């Protein structure tokens, strides 16, 4: 990379919390490599994936005289990589970019696959593009400083891969959680590598989500509905995915006739992940409204990824609204009755 960028500029976009921890180290490394750099810090959190921050980045890059020979580097979790990637895709009709991913969720999901974008009031990730990064660096050392809640946030996406992969990965993640050390680097390395390989294999065969890549949306239609109903506050994305996976299991049982016993290993795993998630008040009607807005379709037109059994996902469309409502209600009842501490 250093040879390709000789004579170019690096534009480094940091999560502000990450910069406070690692900014000086990363800055020294880039300076040692002889690369000129400009940098900017953005606030953490889903609210940063907005048109306001997008315009701020455009203005910064243009003021700094960015060219197509330069490179943008995102340093942070999924929010920063989503936003930075979209900036890279659209400024000057496309500038190279890379990711130094510092969160578990970013390393197993957001930084992989080239999906970039921002949120709109009407729904999550409705404005964006596919723009593959030139590199993704996943250093597990960054995870040592993450609070436990952020680790659970990432495990929501790992659980999604486990449901898609089958009982082998479900048992592996279950044993990891039972061991009680969320920062066991050996086990984390195995889970991150499995997750990245699974996603990379699917993305390489279907970059633009025309077919098989849709399977990666397991639990996400429900999760996006939850996030929208909460105004993208109070729950992290991966926490919403944990709950969304429970909703997908309920709908799999109701619509496909999947056996609850067959899905119990995954359900039990999700119950463990859900325990520390803050208890929030969720309105099933609002969740369903945001599920519809997410793709601008009626409930009956939404695509869902369901499980006939662990490791046997299927894409389904045209589900009766009553089945969706019942599944959302069951999901909400669980977090209301069994959720963790109040947010």
User: Residue 17: its pLDDT value, please?
Assistant: 96
Answer whether residue 294 shows pLDDT above 80. no
User: Residue 338: its pLDDT value, please?
Assistant: 65
Q: Which of the following is catalytic: 224, 254, 255, 292?
A: 224
User: Residue 29: its pLDDT value, please?
Assistant: 85
Task: Using a pLDDT cut of 70, give the percent of the chain over it.
Answer: 94
Q: Which of the following is catalytic: 209, 212, 279, 308?
A: 209
Q: What is the DSSP letter of 278?
A: P
The reply to whether 255 belongs to the active site is no
User: Residue 324: its pLDDT value, please?
Assistant: 96
Answer whether residue 314 shows pLDDT above 70. yes
Sort strands 9-15 and 36-42 into parallel, antiparallel or unpaired: parallel
Strands (E), the chain: 9-15, 36-42, 71-76, 96-101, 115-120, 123-130, 135-138, 303-309, 312-317
- Ordered by where they begin, the domains of the chain are 9-143 (3.40.50.1970), 148-338 (1.20.1090.10)
Q: What pairs with residue 13 in β-bridges? A: 40, 74
Average pLDDT value over all residues in the chain: 93
The reply to whether 207 belongs to the active site is no
The reply to whether 115 belongs to the active site is yes
> What is the average pLDDT across 202-207?
93
The reply to whether 189 belongs to the active site is no
Residue 123 — very low, low, confident or very high, per pLDDT cuts 50/70/90? confident
DSSP per-residue letters across 117-181: EEEETTEEEEEEEE---SEEEE-GGGGGGS-HHHHHHHHHHHHHHHHHH-HHHHHHHHHHHHH--
What is the reported pTM?
0.92
Q: Which of the following is catalytic: 49, 124, 199, 292?
A: 199
The reply to whether 9 belongs to the active site is no
User: Residue 292: its pLDDT value, please?
Assistant: 86
User: Residue 241: its pLDDT value, please?
Assistant: 98
Residue 70 — very low, low, confident or very high, per pLDDT cuts 50/70/90? very high
The phi and psi torsions of 117 (rounded to 5 degrees) equal: 160, 180
Task: Using a pLDDT cut of 90, give the percent of the chain over it.
Answer: 83
Residue 2 — very low, low, confident or very high, per pLDDT cuts 50/70/90? low
Q: Which of the following is catalytic: 124, 213, 254, 292?
A: 213
Residues 232-288 have pLDDT tens digits of 889 999 999 999 999 999 999 999 999 999 999 999 999 999 999 998 999 999 999
> What is the average pLDDT across 153-164?
98
Q: Which of the following is catalytic: 9, 49, 115, 255?
A: 115
Q: Which of the following is catalytic: 46, 49, 153, 157?
A: 157
> What is the average pLDDT across 103-114?
95
> What is the average pLDDT across 184-202?
96
Q: Which of the following is catalytic: 220, 254, 255, 292?
A: 220
The reply to whether 220 belongs to the active site is yes
User: Residue 336: its pLDDT value, please?
Assistant: 76
The phi and psi torsions of 260 (rounded to 5 degrees) equal: -60, -35
């Amino acid at each position: 990379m250093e040879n390709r960028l000789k004579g170019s500029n690096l534009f480094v976009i940091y999560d502000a919390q990450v910069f406070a921890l690692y900014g000086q180290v990363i800055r020294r490394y880039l300076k040692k490599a002889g690369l000129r750099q400009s940098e900017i810090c953005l606030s953490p959190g889903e609210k940063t994936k907005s048109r306001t921050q997008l315009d701020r980045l455009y203005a910064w890059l243009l003021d700094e005289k960015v060219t197509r020979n330069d490179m943008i580097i995102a340093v942070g979790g999924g929010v920063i990589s989503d936003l930075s990637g979209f900036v890279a895709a659209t400024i000057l009709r496309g500038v190279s970019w890379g990711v130094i991913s510092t969160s578990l969720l970013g390393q197993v999901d957001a930084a992989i696959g080239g999906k970039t974008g921002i949120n709109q009031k009407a729904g999550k990730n409705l404005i964006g593009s596919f723009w593959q990064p030139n590199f993704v660096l996943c250093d597990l050392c960054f995870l040592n400083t993450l609070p436990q809640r952020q680790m659970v946030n990432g495990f929501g996406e790992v659980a999604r891969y486990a449901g898609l992969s089958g009982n082998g990965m479900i048992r592996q993640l279950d044993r990891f959680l039972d061991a009680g050390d969320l920062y066991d680097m050996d086990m984390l390395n195995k889970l991150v590598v499995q997750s990245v390989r699974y996603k990379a294999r699917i993305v390489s065969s279907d970059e633009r989500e025309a077919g098989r890549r849709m399977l990666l949306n397991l639990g996400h239609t429900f999760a996006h509905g939850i996030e929208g109903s909460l105004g993208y506050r109070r729950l992290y994305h991966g926490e919403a995915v944990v709950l969304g996976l429970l909703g997908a299991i309920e709908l799999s049982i109701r619509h496909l006739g999947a056996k609850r016993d067959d899905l119990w290993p995954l359900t039990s795993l999700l119950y463990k992940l859900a325990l520390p998630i803050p208890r929030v008040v969720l309105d099933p009607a609002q969740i369903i409204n945001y599920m519809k807005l997410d793709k601008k379709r009626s409930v009956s037109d939404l695509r869902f990824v369901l499980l006939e059994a662990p490791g046997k996902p299927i894409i389904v469309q045209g589900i009766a609204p009553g089945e969706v409502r019942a599944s959302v209600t069951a999901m909400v009842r669980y977090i209301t009755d069994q959720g963790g501490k109040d947010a």
